[in-house]
Structure 1
Amino acid sequence: MASILSLALIPAGVANAQTVQAAFAKGGRVSVVYDGGMSGTLTVQDRRNGAQLQLGGINLNLAGSRQIPISGGYHAEVVYDGSTVRGTDALTSNSDVFTGGTSTFYGTRSGEVCDIVDNFGHQFRATCSLTRFEYEQDDSGPGSRTVMRLAAVATSAVDLVEQDRINQQAQLAAQRQREAEQAMAAQEEAAFQAMLASRPAASRSQTTALEQAIAQDSQSWLFNRFDPGSVNSVVVMPASNDGLVTVRGNYSFNGGAPGWVEARLQAGVVQCVVYWDFQDSCRPVMSAPAPRDQASGETSTAYQSQREAEQEFYRRQTEEEIANTYNRRNNIYNSPE
């Protein structure tokens, strides 16, 4: 019998062999996978004179008995936990007269001996260690008897308690990483908001140009709807090398959902816009990316028709609402202090 204290006998698939070996010896929670083979005989007998039985391609005279050799593969996955053992196994047969199958089992373990009962009610005593799993099974039924020897060697083993500890450490490290990233993002956002607060307010003409650009651009939006008169907190961003002026402001859509937009102006005219939900590039006004047909890659015809109808409707509605808003603002601007 192989000694569980010999590291040389632990299979190559076992990580941290000493830890697994110590856990198994102390009755810890260890999972082991075994692979091997099955061999035995199937004995068929019947006392009825002249009885015939066909198994696969073999015709048997059942006035007596016939022994048929059987063989196949054997795979088992076993969890040892203190004095208890549970697992699953699977047989594959090389013969037409024996089909193999799968089963579950449970039992008790003492050292390298396991007393096991499977889900079919078969009871057997197995040699169970970190290196091998072996037992014999004698299964008798009406007119037949199957005697098998199943032997498999361990291909991998895991100390489940140690694995849980490692997993918990990994989860804790991942949580700390997420918290650190969130803290850094919060710091960056706070610094950015402080920068915005320190920027000079945009002029009335710049604010007007930004709101008109959003209103015009929103005609190309498929799902969101700009809330006219919602543009606020417009500031002038730091100067760029190309001489264009960048302004940034907040707005709302769909009845109060918040968003922000940046616009680049040349001589007071908006050249392009960058939105909070599409920050990849500064794109010209009225050039929102259109949905593509997944099969052809072309712009959806239904989308084009819908957008044309929506553009006309929202153009009239938005222009009227913005005009009313500008009139209210002008009254405020022009009112005496």
Structure 2
Amino acid sequence: MRNKIAFFPLLTLTFLWISLTSFLPKTEDQPNLDGQSLVFNTDGLYFAEFYDYIFRGHFENVDIKREDVMFPTIFGEYLKAFGAQCPSALPADKVEIMKWVCAREQVTTNGYGIETSRVCIDWELVGTGLYARRDLYHAKLVVEKIQSDDALRTTLTMMTDPNAMGNSLDMVHRAKGLQNDMAQIFLLNPCNSAGLRRFEENLKRFALNEPAIRMEGASKYTLMKESGGPTGAQDLGKLVEDLVADQARTWAFNRFEAGSISGVSTSEDGQGRPRELRANYRFRGFSGSSTGSVRIVFENGLPKCIYFFDFPQNCKTPNSGILAAYAQGKYAR
């Protein structure tokens, strides 16, 4: 009888422990109740660092702010991609994603009947045929409202930007990079994966300016920046090749010629790591094959900005995955 009496309190305590631990925040190495680990693969994606910081809940490290033009674009494209590629993973109370379209235009012609301008004077919301989680879609509308309220300041900033043309092309490159991301992200992460669910939850919290669900483990991108670039002999030609080829994925017209990197020259910091690197490359455009040049500026031994010859003042952000590989010594000779 004594053993039976002792058994029931033990059983009760065990049940209580299981119940309490189910409410504790999960860490990267802690499996969910369905047996899946919280893993979110961003390797090779254009906005890989942004996605990883959101997934981990490390909002303080995110360079793209919720007030930036790019954030609602990323959020909206993600919802559309999920709706198109993962429709069976949506809940029963899903909502349709809407978009604004022009309902009526005002066309102006000259005395000869030739059209001189066309302006939309009436807009309407129509369905896209794609659906999203209700809470995520609401969060997207919140950040779009912020953008709408701040439209005048954003327009004036763009108009007074001394590097407006270069930054406008950057927006095109980013949009193309985002398009490539959305074609790959659900191949890297299954629609019903626990990691994807955590990413979405933190994406919503970031949009609504709410506290994140944080992971304890540091992102590899944070560790990379803290450790800095590698010392010793590195294959800098290969590094330039990979960085330029990655940028070329988002070029609108020109096409980078693989294997064409030449004339690599570098200046070094006090630890023998590159401070600045210059090289030539070849690309194909409207006029056939041509030669271009690139300058890469390093910070703490890692590439910080990529400047191409046609826009020498416009800093292109290097691919974070390539930087992580370089920091880990994968380009060592």
TM-score band by shorter chain is under 0.3
Which protein has the bigger helix share?
2
Select the structure of larger CA radius of gyration.
1
Q: Which has the higher contact order (CA 8 A, sep 6+)?
A: 2
TM-score (structure 1 length as normaliser): 0.19
Q: Would you tell me which structure has more strand in proportion to its own residues?
A: 1
| TM-score computed with the length of structure 2 as normaliser | 0.19
